[in-house]
Amino acid sequence: MSDTPLLSVQDLQVHFSVSTPTGRGTVHAVENISFDLRRGETLGLVGESGSGKSTIANALMRLETPTAGKLLLDGKDVTRVKGRELKELRRRIAMVFQDPFSALNPRQTVGASVAEPLVVHGLAGAASSRRARVNELFGLVGLPERFADRYPHELSGGQRQRVCIARALAGEPDIIILDEATASLDVSVQAQIMNLLKRLQADLGLTHLFVAHDLAAVEYMSHRVLVMYLGRLMELSPKVELYRAPGHPYTQALLSAIPLADPLQERNRERTLLQGDVPSPLNPPSGCVFRTRCPLAISECADVVPEPVVLGEDHVAACIRTAEVPLLNR
């Protein structure tokens, strides 16, 4: 893994104008998020539903247009690229979605679906060359070549997700965004897919953005972890440091919900339970957006949007009381 950023996200904002009972409103889906994605690493992106994880993923693919901020790929600003440059961006950054059945055309063989990026990006000319490349991709993801002539409904969920991974690899991308790519699979199949992704990353030098709710899966897959809440960065840290000593009360609450293997330790541990629901992104709280559910909140939290505080090498947390966050009993 290199320390050189392959992708640099700078002060990214994504807002949506929506209709409300009283007129128009603005959904603050992502607010001033900055991070680097380093060549060869897996960055885990976690947070509750509505935190903005998938919006970031869509913005990186330019499926959503950023309201403000910059996206730099290999140092080049791709925030507003169009036409041929946008097509090249979508070759270099591929995505694997949560539901592999919905991601595949039910009227098309899975081999034809995998061949589509080859045609779109001009990576294989003759039909025989495309078929040979599809067979090679099926081998990479652990599927028999004969499966290329099957339709999505003829495959299991895990097999369909392998097809989606093969299609993502077809464009020879630098980055693969995995948007809850294992969430819809059985536990044993999740493990197989995660091991496949790690092997492909090692063999092909891929860079991953791993979007997930499952903190145990994120711990297994990631080198670094970015924690989000209501569109804002709460914490960014190397995986080992974050799971050992989280610096933000929200991270601490998320990690305390992970079950422990030792029944006695699990029974006697202290948990941080969050009260209430996530506020609406149409009307986020003033100051720190987490303050309405934070066990450490004080009056100052309503007035100050906390800046990330450096806690260690490559470890920051956006909380004015970060020094008081208790260590986890893990």
Those residues whose C-beta lies under 8 Å from the C-beta of residue 15, and which sit 6 or more positions away, are 26, 27, 28, 29, 67
**Structure confidence at residue 330 (pLDDT):** 42
d(CA 181, CA 258): 20
Residue 107: strand, helix, or coil: coil
Q: From the CA atom positions of the chain, what is the Rg in Å?
A: 21
**Structure confidence at residue 2 (pLDDT):** 66
CB hemisphere CA count around 181 (13 angstroms): 31
d(CA 291, CA 300): 10
Structural contact between residues 69 and 142, judged by C-beta atoms closer than 8 angstroms = no
Retrieve residue 253's tokens: 């609450």
Q: Which residues of the chain have pLDDT under 70?
A: 1-2, 261, 265-266, 326-330
**Structure confidence at residue 183 (pLDDT):** 87
**Structure confidence at residue 263 (pLDDT):** 73
**Structure confidence at residue 96 (pLDDT):** 96
**Structure confidence at residue 265 (pLDDT):** 67
